[in-house]
């Protein structure tokens, strides 16, 4: 009888050694300099309001394999891949399996070009039945049960890859509130998802996040012992000051009529910004005179407020320092804090700034510099789209000023 515990211990040691040979030690620097690649799997096709049987188009029509090589040679080491879970939750099994196979085919192509991948479950706010609120409204509801099953499945599949440079992000921007008082708070939902994913993939890299749109403010309510799991990452998003990064964005009511803001804040540019805002509102379509005047007054107040206090690298460091302090307090190595989204809207109000490219470059440079100082990884939002950095569709060339901001040289490495 005395020999059994010894034999069991020996077998346990052998298993641990074998696992160590198959899986590398806990990754602390796998995701350092990333790019969000959107449009592939986050905008599913619809058929009369429902998900099409083939919800995702051929991904090579959006991003070629030569572009993946270009991203790697430019200095990016991973891709954050937003995937709308809606089709994977709603479609019949055969269609769902086909969609998941497409996602993993892209992951294989990225890995073949030495790009790590964070598979990000990224719901669409405009989804009728499968937005974040619908899925997370009840921990006992069928939609959350379906999400749990999907997370188990994806974690199991990633575990089968035996690749520490592929990770699963459990949910993107789960709630606008820092702590929800009506319905289950994200901390409860995330604990369930984390438990399900970890049971299916004991060594898989898992990415957790916060409420408050995944901002640093949500960290005050994120109660996780990060020491207990060596393969956890923290994902936060950073778009501060929101007035600068989103100026003129049509979907953001507080800033949609503001334009012409530069970075860092220069009080001498206040009048220039006011004129740009006036012009932006004058060009806005579909506003009756009364609404236009109200929008003008509000936007000018917002623009004036932008110049009321300093905004620069010092302020960015103070805000991101909250994440560094949280990591230190919870035992999370700072290398596993990821600024998973940051970027500047390029198609809206910033176009009327005096120095739009220089302002965007300065902001990106400061966020990256502070992130590196704290030891954080990062992933730029995004390759394409309103925040995109692809200069033009035929060449798919990344803006030189963006590469310079991120890597300190205009043409990549």
What does the DSSP assignment read for 308-345? SS--SHHHHHHHHHHHHHHHHHHT--GGGEEEEE----
3-state SS assignment for residue 151? helix
Q: Looking at residue 224, what is its pLDDT?
A: 87
Contact 216, 181 (CB under 8 A): no
For residues 275-282, average pLDDT: 96
**Tally of CB atoms within 10 A around 301:** 10
pTM over 0.85: yes
Helix (H) or strand (E) holding 40: none
Q: What are the backbone angles phi and psi of residue 247, rounded to the nearest 5°?
A: -50, 125
Q: Looking at residue 84, what is its pLDDT?
A: 98
Q: List pLDDT tens digits, range 287-312.
A: 999 999 999 999 999 999 999 999 99
User: 22-31 burial, b for 16+ CB within 10 Å, e for fewer?
Assistant: ebeeebeebb
Contacts of 87 (CB under 8 A, 6+ apart): 44, 51, 55, 56, 95, 96, 99
Q: How many helices (H) and strands (E) does the chain have?
A: 14, 10
Q: Looking at residue 27, what is its pLDDT?
A: 45
Contact 44, 352 (CB under 8 A): no
C-alpha closest to that of 142 among 156, 124, 130? 130
27-245+311-407: CATH number = 3.20.20.80
Task: Please check the confidence at residue 277 and state whether its pLDDT lies above 70.
Answer: yes
Mean pLDDT value across the chain: 91
Provide the pLDDT confidence category of residue 161 given band limits of 50, 70 and 90: very high
For residues 233-248, average pLDDT: 98
Contact 370, 313 (CB under 8 A): yes
Find the DSSP H helices in 240-382.
Answer: 242-245, 270-283, 289-306, 313-330, 356-374
For residues 71-95, average pLDDT: 97
For residues 311-331, average pLDDT: 97
Contacts of 326 (CB under 8 A, 6+ apart): 219, 222, 234, 332
3-state SS assignment for residue 228? helix
Task: Report the greatest alpha carbon distance in the chain.
Answer: 90
Q: Looking at residue 227, what is its pLDDT?
A: 87
User: DSSP E strands: which ranges in 125-213?
Assistant: 166-169, 205-208
Alpha-carbon span 55 to 124, nearest angstrom = 14
Alpha-carbon span 214 to 381, nearest angstrom = 14
Q: List pLDDT tens digits, range 188-229.
A: 999 999 999 999 999 999 999 999 999 999 999 998 888 889
Contact 400, 358 (CB under 8 A): no
Task: Please check the confidence at residue 134 and state whether its pLDDT lies above 90.
Answer: yes
Task: Please check the confidence at residue 374 and state whether its pLDDT lies above 90.
Answer: yes
Contact 140, 188 (CB under 8 A): no
Cα–Cα distances in Å, from 11 out to 74, 202, 346, 365?
46, 18, 58, 51
Question: Cα–chain-centroid distance for residue 94?
Answer: 29
Q: From the CA atom positions of the chain, what is the Rg in Å?
A: 23
Task: Please check the confidence at residue 313 and state whether its pLDDT lies above 50.
Answer: yes
Contact 359, 353 (CB under 8 A): yes
Q: Looking at residue 228, what is its pLDDT?
A: 85
Helix (H) or strand (E) holding 406: helix 400-407
Q: List pLDDT tens digits, range 3-57.
A: 444 344 344 333 333 333 333 444 445 899 999 999 999 999 998 889 999 999 9
Q: Looking at residue 409, what is its pLDDT?
A: 56
């Amino acid at each position: 009888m005395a020999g059994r515990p010894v034999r069991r211990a020996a077998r346990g040691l052998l298993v641990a050694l074998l696992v160590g040979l198959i899986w590398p030690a806990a990754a602390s620097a796998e995701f350092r300099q990333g790019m969000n690649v959107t449009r592939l799997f986050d905008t599913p096709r619809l058929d009369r309001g429902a998900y099409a049987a083939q919800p995702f188009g051929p991904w090579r029509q959006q991003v070629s394999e030569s572009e993946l090589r270009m991203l790697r040679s430019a200095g990016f080491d991973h891709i954050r891949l937003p995937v709308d879970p809606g089709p994977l939750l709603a479609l019949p099994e055969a269609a769902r399996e086909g969609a998941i196979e497409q996602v993993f085919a892209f992951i294989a192509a990225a890995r073949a070009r030495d790009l790590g991948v964070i598979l990000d479950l990224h719901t669409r706010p405009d989804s009728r039945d499968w937005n974040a609120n619908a899925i997370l409204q009840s921990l006992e509801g069928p939609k959350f049960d379906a999400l749990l099953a999907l997370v188990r499945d994806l974690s199991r599949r990633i575990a089968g890859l035996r690749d520490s440079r592929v990770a699963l992000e459990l949910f993107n921007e789960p709630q606008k509130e820092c702590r929800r008082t009506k319905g289950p708070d994200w901390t409860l939902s995330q604990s369930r998802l984390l438990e399900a994913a970890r049971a299916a993939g004991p060594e898989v890299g898992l990415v957790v996040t916060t409420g408050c749109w995944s901002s640093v403010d949500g960290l005050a309510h994120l109660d996780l012992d990060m020491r207990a799991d060596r393969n956890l990452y923290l994902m936060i998003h950073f778009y501060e000051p929101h007035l600068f990064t989103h100026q003129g964005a049509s979907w953001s009511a507080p800033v949609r009529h503001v334009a012409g803001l530069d970075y860092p804040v220069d009080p001498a540019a206040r009048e220039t910004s006011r004129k740009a805002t006036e012009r932006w509102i004058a060009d806005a379509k579909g506003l009756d005179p009364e609404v236009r005047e109200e929008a003008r007054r509000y936007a000018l107040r917002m623009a004036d407020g932008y110049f009321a206090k300093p905004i620069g690298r010092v302020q960015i460091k103070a805000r991101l320092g909250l994440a560094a302090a949280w990591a230190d307090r919870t035992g999370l190595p700072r290398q596993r804090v990821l600024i998973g989204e940051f970027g500047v809207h390029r198609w809206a109000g910033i176009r009327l700034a005096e120095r739009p490219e220089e302002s965007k470059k300065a902001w990106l440079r400061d966020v990256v510099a502070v992130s590196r100082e704290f030891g954080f990884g990062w992933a730029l939002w995004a390759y394409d789209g309103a925040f995109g950095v692809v200069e033009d569709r035929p060449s798919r060339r990344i803006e030189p000023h963006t590469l310079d901001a991120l890597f300190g040289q205009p043409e990549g490495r």
